[in-house]
Amino acid sequence: MEWGQSPHKLAQKDIDASWVKKNNESFYGYKDHANVDRGTKLITAWEVTSAQVRDSQVFEEVLQPAEVVGVNVYADSAYRSNAQEENLIASGHASHIHEKGSRNHPLTEAQKSSNKEKSRIRVRVEHVFGSMTNELGGIAVRNIGHIRAKVQIGLLNLVYNIKRVATLIGNKRFSFDRVVAPEIA
């Protein structure tokens, strides 16, 4: 009997998840794509996809309006494309996306220096995932199905934000006027 024909086998296999290879290491599951406020390190928007979906494919879903979170957008070179740059300009954002080199066209010293400056801001996003991994027990999804994974990752994002707000309040660095809640229909 094939995988698709046995309901007992399908109950044990997550057919929504996928494999991805990063730095010669394979991962199976889902990705948490997050938009992080650079000032507070709070997650302002997020999306969950299977692991094989590239970050740039959900960029529009997690990008917040410039009027809400500011115009500056920092991201790694995976997000850079001419179409993406045009979309950012059209939406009123200023792109600070890392530049990338290509075969026979390496980055200039000025581009490398510019990327290094951008990394000082962008690393704040990496702190979020580091905190989830080191302080909140990791980002591993231990259930089957995209909907359950989205709920689990969403709750992890929420717990991270609560923890981060408590830290900001304790350090007297948080202003409640920055909190924006969506309207309830």
Q: Which of 184, 180, 183 is nearest to 37 (CA)?
A: 180
User: Tell me: the pLDDT tens digits for 135-155?
Assistant: 888 777 778 888 888 999 999
Tens-digit pLDDT profile for residues 107-132: 889 989 988 988 888 888 888 988 88
Residues 6+ apart with CB under 8 A from 139: 32, 129, 132, 133, 153, 156
Asked whether the beta carbons of 153 and 45 are under 8 A apart, the reply is no
Helix (H, G, I), strand (E, B) or coil at 104: coil
What is the value of pTM for the model shown?
0.79
pLDDT score for 142: 77
Q: What is the mean pLDDT of residues 8-13?
A: 72
- Spatial contact of 69 and 58, defined as CB atoms under 8 Å apart: no
pLDDT at position 23 over 70: yes
pLDDT tens readout for residues 50-104: 888 887 888 888 888 888 878 888 888 888 888 888 888 888 888 888 888 888 8
Please state the separation of Cα 101 from the chain's center in Å: 23
d(CA 155, CA 147): 12
DSSP 116-163: HHHHHHHHHHHHHHHHHHHHSS-----SSSHHHHHHHHHHHHHHHHHH
